[in-house]
Chains A and B, each alone.
Chain A
Amino acid sequence: MKFVDEYRDPAAARVLLKVINDLAAGDEFKFMEVCGGHTHTIYRHGIEHILPEGVELIHGPGCPVCVIPMGRVDDAIAVAEHPNVIFTSFGDMMRVPGSKGTLLEAKARGADVRFVYSPLDALRIAVENPTKEVVFFAVGFETTAPSTAVTVLRAREMGVRNFRVFSNHVTIVPPLKAILESPDLRLDGFLGPGHVSTVVGNRPYRFVPERYGKPVVTAGFEPLDILQTIVMLLKQIREGRCEVENQYSRIVRDEGNPRALKLLADVFVLRPHFEWRGLGFIAQSGLALRPDLSMFDAEVYYEVPGVRVADPKACQCGEVLKGVIRPWECKVFGTACTPETPIGTCMVSSEGACAAYYNFGRMHREAAVTLGRRA
């Protein structure tokens, strides 16, 4: 495909891999890719197994579906089970378990749950079904929050009265801080979140090198983007630099997207606290609708249980998210906790660190390298 194949060229990959090999020079490095989209690219193209053994990628907290805690899923199901509600959600959110099952199961029990590609699709359903109440399960970082914001403003403009948003939008910087504050952290740098940065820009990450001494390189989502980002991180370390760099400059600007940022400010306010699966409560990390838009706020309109459900004890997602242990080092990985019966956040979406490893990477390195060679 034009404009895609260029970023997937095996010959260019070989050149970058040689540079990575030379820069790593047999030493060990751990880099965290913040975004679930990066994790997906890394596994889909088999990047783990072509990197030198010492260069390890740790899968971070940026899978928007995985970070939604059980209690919020229970709330979503409670709303979806209202008799007159059409509950709309992104597809992969429907498989995430709360304490009493998933939205897919609620659908099987009779709830009207539909998947949509965009909140605007949910608004369209509301317009087409004026006698129904339509709720959109809004999840995601600053990447998807602007589209929710646009939709809410459009609903107000059109005078739509049967459309509401159950906001679970979160922001990227607080969880990064939480990870960096962790005493057992073992990371040498970050592949910064490409999509989020199109909105927020690169400036919000400056505290990472300045306060915590770790380099950040904002990365694109094609396989060559990932390799080039690793080169840039290794170069910083080898040259004794530590700063925020932008590999994804074809899309991301330093100042981000001012219009999208204004939309966020017009529609959302920061919650004092928001709970993250695996990471616990993080201050100033979640977005709620502004009080003047409360007629579109599902949390105001519906009574939801709002019960906090503790993460299962056996689950070590917190440590996986922080890069302290690898997915396969968790006590329940692959046995009690699998993609069919996920226990923790990292297993629930295909972008989660554990699910990605289980689905795509669960292979002896030696076998992977041998089979990777073309006959």
Chain B
Amino acid sequence: MADHDTVQEKDYREAMMLDRIEAFRRRKPRLTDEVITSAHGAGGKSSAALIENVFLAAFSDPDRGPQADAATLTMPNGDRLGFTTDSFVVKPYRFPGGSIGHLAVHGTVNDLAVEGATPTWLSCAFVIEEGLAVAELQAVVADMAEAATEAGVTIVTGDTKVVGRGAADGLYITTAGVGLIPAERRLGPDLVKPGDVILVSGTIADHGMSVMLARGDLAIEADIRSDTAPLGGLIEDLLAAAPNTRWMRDPTRGGVATVANELARDADLGVVLDESLLPVDPAVRGACDMLGIDEMYVANEGKVVAIVPPEEEAAALAAMRAHPLGKRASRIGEIVADPTGIVVLRTSFGGTRIVDMLVGDPLPRIC
């Protein structure tokens, strides 16, 4: 039996060390890499370091608030516009539940919707590699048109570039979108308070697992469909039922875990998630379990995470569940005052653990 120091002394020293690490962790992420790797695009810590040290270092405007999925621009007459852009490089172009064309519309309209804007106009730019079949391009464009109609937006301008064989991987699409934000609407991490509850509009990890399986390099077959969908309608219903909704995000790349970490950081509060409350489709859970991938880090393309005050929880859930895209809306956790800046998961097993930002791409474990 160990005898070198007492439990109390050990706890004290550990606590000191944890405080030091927490202080260290809050420092701005440093970019130490010499070349860009796939980790810089995975939405985790490396992405944050890249954005902080390359893009914000060059472009940032000190008057603008925390980084968000869409910018809020105030017009001279006081009207506010949401403005955002996103690029789409997914392979394969088609996967169960959607295509790169659907994503190109949904990704951008959802970034606007979670900032409280009403998505209205989109632009689209195509980078096409020589050799792409015209029929393939037509099919993708038809999906974009269909998605735009469903989302109630108009694609109003665009651009096309063709690059030589090998200079791109088939087809890249970039869309940008704008929409008005109703005058009375206020959303932001600064409005979030301890005691607020965290809701998600439905099952998580469907999109990421669907694409991963559709790539076909895993010897797993499962009926998993992407959730790609426009969230504008669902979000309008939610905001009508819960007018004091504090903050929203669509948990795309990096999943619910990354969104929760961004919230904890920007609101400077603690986020507690409850594993047993996370809605996950059994096939998705099985595939994640088999591959050693944590479903909380897997992408969604048709879900919203919303923070609402506790007194509006019931109304918010009822409104979402009444919408076809929100049938499995659930409360998944709550906001606490302490520990700040950290996301904690209550495991179904009765324990607790930290849910940190992902370091790189979610790579499968060996055993």
Contacts and interface: CB of A to CB of B under 8 A. Distances in A.
Interface of A: 1, 4, 8, 10, 13-14, 27-30, 36-37, 40, 43-50, 53-54, 56, 64-65, 90-95, 104-105, 107-109, 115, 117-118, 121, 139-140, 143-144, 186, 188, 195, 223, 326, 328-329, 333-335, 339-341, 349-351, 358-365, 367-369, 371-372, 374-375
Contact of B367 (A94, A144, A186, A341): A144
B346 A36 contact: no
Given A1-B286, A28-B2, A44-B353, A363 B18 contact: yes
A104 B1 contact: no
A341 B32 contact: yes
Most chain A C-beta atoms within 10 Å of own C-beta, residue among B272, B349, B364 = B349
A115 B363 contact: yes
Interface stretch (B112-120, B174-182, B322-330, B331-339): B331-339
A10 B353 contact: no
B364 A372 contact: no
Contacts of B184: none
A234 B248 CA distance: 48
A334 B18 CA distance: 9
25 contacts: A1-B282, A10-B350, A13-B350, A28-B7, A29-B2, A45-B353, A46-B350, A46-B352, A50-B351, A53-B7, A104-B38, A108-B35, A118-B219, A328-B14, A333-B17, A335-B20, A335-B24, A340-B45, A341-B32, A362-B354, A363-B353, A367-B339, A368-B344, A368-B352, A371-B352
A44 B345 CA distance: 9
Contacts of A188: 1-2
Contact of A108 (B25, B36, B49, B349): B36
Interface of B: 1-4, 7, 11, 13-15, 17-18, 20-21, 24-25, 29, 32-33, 35-39, 45-46, 49, 217-219, 270, 272, 274, 282, 285-286, 289, 292, 294, 334, 336, 338-339, 342, 344-354, 356, 359-360, 363-367
Contacts of B346: 46, 371-372, 374
A117 B354 contact: no
A326 B7 CA distance: 13
Contacts of B349: 8, 10, 13, 45-47, 50, 223
Given A351-B365, A359-B354, A371-B352, A121 B18 contact: no
A13 B351 CA distance: 10
Contacts of B339: 363-364, 367
Contacts of A8: 348-349
B184 to A, nearest CB: 32
